[in-house]
């Protein structure tokens, strides 16, 4: 049985003339209510940090002539690598990555995580090599 077969009485999805976006909005409301969907948001402090970090990313992207939202995963990865090569701590890089991810989630925009994960791995390896060279 399909979801639309058990939709609330009145057949909201059967209303003629509704475009896909209007239909998605109706389904969203129904699913949210029927399944009691709960979202876990970052703390207020983390959201404030994300806003600061996203602003920095947006400024960097703008300087490069690139988009920050939606951003490609490769653009976000380049930013993270730029941060670490510029001397940023791993905590700073992780905060930037989390901010970019959160912004894309809140804007319902796809973000290719594979290049970002590769950049985070690179940042960790770079940090380890820098620490190893300071002995």
79 and 105 inside one domain: yes
Please report how many Cα atoms fall inside a 13 Å half-sphere around the Cα of residue 30, on the Cβ side.
Answer: 16
For 117, which DSSP code?
H
**What pLDDT is recorded for position 135?**
47
Looking at the structure, tell me whether residues 16 and 79 fall in a common domain: no
Same domain, 99 and 128: yes
Using the predicted structure, report yes or no on whether residue 123 has a pLDDT greater than 80: yes
Task: Verify that 21 and 66 share a domain, yes or no.
Answer: no
DSSP for 71-96 reads --HHHHHHHHHHHHHTT--HHHHHHH
DSSP state of 103: H
Q: Taking the mean position of all CA atoms in its chain, how far away is CA 111?
A: 6
Residues in Cβ contact with 47 at an 8 Å cutoff, skipping those fewer than 6 apart? 41, 102
On whether both 71 and 121 belong to a single domain, the answer is yes
Task: Specify whether the CB–CB gap between 110 and 104 falls below 8 A.
Answer: yes
In tens, the pLDDT along 1-38 reads: 455 555 555 555 555 568 888 888 889 999 999 999 88
Print the domain residue range for 28: 3-35
Cβ density class 10-32: b for 16+ within 10 Å, e for less: eebeeeeeeeeeeeeebeeeeee
pTM: 0.76
Average pLDDT of span 107-133: 93
């Amino acid at each position: 049985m399909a979801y639309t077969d058990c939709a609330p009485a009145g057949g909201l999805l059967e209303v003629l003339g509704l475009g896909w976006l209007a239909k998605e909005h109706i389904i969203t409301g129904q699913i949210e209510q029927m399944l009691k969907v709960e979202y876990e948001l970052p703390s207020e402090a983390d959201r404030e940090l994300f806003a600061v970090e996203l602003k920095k990313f947006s400024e960097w992207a703008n300087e490069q002539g690139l988009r920050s939202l939606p951003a490609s995963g490769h653009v976000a990865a380049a930013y993270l690598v730029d941060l670490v090569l510029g001397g940023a701590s791993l905590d700073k890089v992780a905060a930037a990555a989390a901010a970019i991810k959160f912004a894309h989630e809140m804007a319902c925009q796809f973000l290719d995580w594979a290049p970002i994960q590769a950049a985070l791995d690179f940042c960790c390896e770079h940090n380890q090599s820098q620490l190893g060279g300071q002995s």
